[in-house]
C-alpha cells in the first residue's frame, strides 16, 4: 500500500506577537506545501531524509499512544517545499501530512479534526507550547482567525473571503539569529518594562488585524498597502525587526510597495520572511533580482491537507 498526503505552509497576515497576549491574528494557507509519502515494507520504519528521523519517530510514538495502535513496516519519504525556520509552518505541515498518512494507512476515518489534533500533539514535542495555529491552518486551509481567549480556550475560526486577493511576494530577509522563543521572550520583557506603551501597540495591531479581516470580507474600502505599512511600523516599534530588514522594507516602500515581516522576526541581523505587496509585481521582482534576494510569489487562502495521487 502506498499513500501520499500534502499540506500547506502558512503566513501570518497580521497579529504576530500580539497574539501571545490574547489579541487576534489572521493567518492564511499558501501554495507552498509539504508532502509525505508512505510505503509499506516488511519490517521497521525508515525515514528519508534521515535528518527528519528523530522528529518523525517521536511524533509517531505520540500518535501510537493516542490511537492505541502500533506502527511497523513502512518507509516514509518527506518532501517539503516550505523553508525551514522561516515562520511558514514547515514542521506543522509535515506533522499534518504524517497524521493524515497514518490515519489513511490504518484505515481510520480521515476527519480533519482528528488530523489537526494529532498534528498538534506532534507539534508539542517539537515546540513545547505551540499556539496550535500552524497545524490548524495547514489542516483546514483558507484563512483562519485565531485568538487565545485563555490558556485552555483558543478560537480558530475559518474566514471565507468575499474578495479576490492579490498575489503577494515573499522576500526572504534571511534566517534570524534568534529563535521564535527568543523573540517572544524579548517582547515579554519589553511589555514588563513599558506596559502602557506596549499595550497601546498591541491594541493598534488588533485594529490592523481587524482591518485585514474587513478587507478580505470586503466590508470596507481599505488600502492593502497602507495596512501592511502600518503593521510593519508597529512591529518595528515592538523591536522585532532588524536594522537591515528595516532598510530593505524602506527601499520597497520607496518603489511604491509595502512590506512587513511575517512571524516572530529577528532583531540582530535578519528577520525571516517578509510579505511584500506592489500593484506591479515586476517592480519587486526586478528589485529582488538586483539585490540578489530570494523571492517567490504566493497565493493566499489555499487548500489544507489533501490525499495526493501515489507519487512524490
Q: How many CA atoms lie within 13 A of 129 on its CB side?
A: 7
Using rule CB under 8 A, residue 51 touches a second copy: no
Answer whether 96's CB lies under 8 Å from 130's CB: no
Separation of alpha carbons 264 and 278, rounded Å: 23
Q: Which stretch binds a second copy (CB under 8 A): 90-98, 147-155, 248-256, 281-289?
A: 147-155
State the CB neighbour count (10 A cutoff) for residue 55.
18
> Residues 6-45 vs a second copy: string with x where CB under 8 A?
----------------x-x---------------------
Q: How many residues bind a second copy (CB under 8 A)?
A: 18
* Min separation Cβ 151 and a second copy, Å: 6
Does the bond joining 21 to the residue before it have cis omega, within 30 degrees of 0? no
Separation of alpha carbons 134 and 120, rounded Å: 9
Q: Which stretch binds a second copy (CB under 8 A): 37-45, 154-162, 227-235, 256-264?
A: 154-162
Separation of alpha carbons 160 and 162, rounded Å: 7
Separation of alpha carbons 22 and 182, rounded Å: 19
- Annotated catalytic residue 79: no
Answer whether 243's CB lies under 8 Å from 176's CB: no
When binding is defined by CB under 8 A, the residue of 68, 149, 192, 196 that contacts a second copy is: 149
- Among candidate residues 111, 134, 286, 310, the one labeled active-site is 134
Q: Which residues of 72-98 are buried (b: 16+ CB within 10 A; e: fewer)?
A: eebebbbbbebbeebbbbbbbbbbbbb
> Residues 156-195 vs a second copy: string with x where CB under 8 A?
-x-x--x---------------------------------
Using rule CB under 8 A, residue 219 touches a second copy: yes
Separation of alpha carbons 136 and 114, rounded Å: 11
When binding is defined by CB under 8 A, the residue of 72, 152, 193, 290 that contacts a second copy is: 152
Q: Which stretch binds a second copy (CB under 8 A): 50-58, 129-137, 185-193, 209-217?
A: 209-217
* Min separation Cβ 155 and a second copy, Å: 5
Separation of alpha carbons 29 and 211, rounded Å: 19
Using rule CB under 8 A, residue 151 touches a second copy: yes
Write out the catalytic residue numbers.
134
Per CB under 8 A, residues contacting a second copy are 22, 24, 145, 147, 149-153, 155, 157, 159, 162, 210, 213-214, 217, 219
Amino acid at each position: 500500500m502506498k499513500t501520499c498526503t500534502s499540506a500547506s505552509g502558512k503566513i501570518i497576515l497580521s497579529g504576530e506577537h500580539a497574539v501571545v497576549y490574547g489579541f487576534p491574528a489572521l493567518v492564511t494557507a499558501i501554495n507552498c506545501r509539504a508532502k509525505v509519502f508512505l510505503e509499506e515494507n516488511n519490517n521497521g520504519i525508515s525515514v528519508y531524509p534521515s535528518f527528519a528521523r528523530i522528529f518523525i519517530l517521536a511524533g509517531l510514538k505520540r500518535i501510537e499512544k493516542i490511537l492505541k495502535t502500533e506502527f511497523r513496516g513502512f518507509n516514509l519519504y518527506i518532501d517539503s517545499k516550505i523553508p525551514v525556520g522561516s515562520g511558514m509552518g514547515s514542521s506543522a505541515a509535515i506533522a499534518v501530512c504524517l497524521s493524515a498518512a497514518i490515519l489513511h494507512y490504518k484505515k481510520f476515518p480521515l476527519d480533519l479534526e482528528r488530523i489537526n489534533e494529532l498534528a498538534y500533539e506532534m507539534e508539542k514535542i517539537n515546540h513545547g507550547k505551540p499556539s496550535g495555529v500552524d497545524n490548524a491552518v495547514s489542516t483546514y486551509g483558507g484563512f483562519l482567525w485565531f485568538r487565545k481567549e485563555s490558556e485552555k480556550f483558543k478560537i480558530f475560526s475559518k474566514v471565507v473571503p468575499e474578495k479576490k486577493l492579490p498575489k503577494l511576494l515573499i522576500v526572504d530577509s534571511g534566517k534570524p539569529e534568534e529563535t521564535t522563543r527568543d523573540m517572544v521572550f524579548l517582547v515579554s520583557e519589553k511589555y514588563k518594562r513599558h506596559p502602557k506603551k506596549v499595550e497601546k501597540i498591541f491594541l493598534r495591531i488588533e485594529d490592523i488585524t481587524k482591518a485585514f479581516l474587513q478587507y478580505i470580507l470586503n466590508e470596507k474600502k481599505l488600502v492593502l498597502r497602507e495596512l501592511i505599512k502600518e503593521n510593519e511600523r508597529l512591529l518595528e516599534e515592538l523591536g522585532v525587526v532588524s536594522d537591515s530588514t528595516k532598510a530593505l522594507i524602506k527601499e520597497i516602500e520607496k518603489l511604491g510597495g509595502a512590506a512587513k515581516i511575517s512571524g516572530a522576526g529577528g532583531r540582530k541581523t535578519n528577520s525571516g520572511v517578509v510579505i511584500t505587496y506592489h500593484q506591479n509585481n515586476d517592480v519587486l521582482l526586478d528589485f529582488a533580482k538586483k539585490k540578489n534576494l530570494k523571492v517567490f510569489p504566493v497565493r493566499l487562502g489555499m487548500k489544507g491537507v489533501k490525499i495526493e495521487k501515489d507519487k512524490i
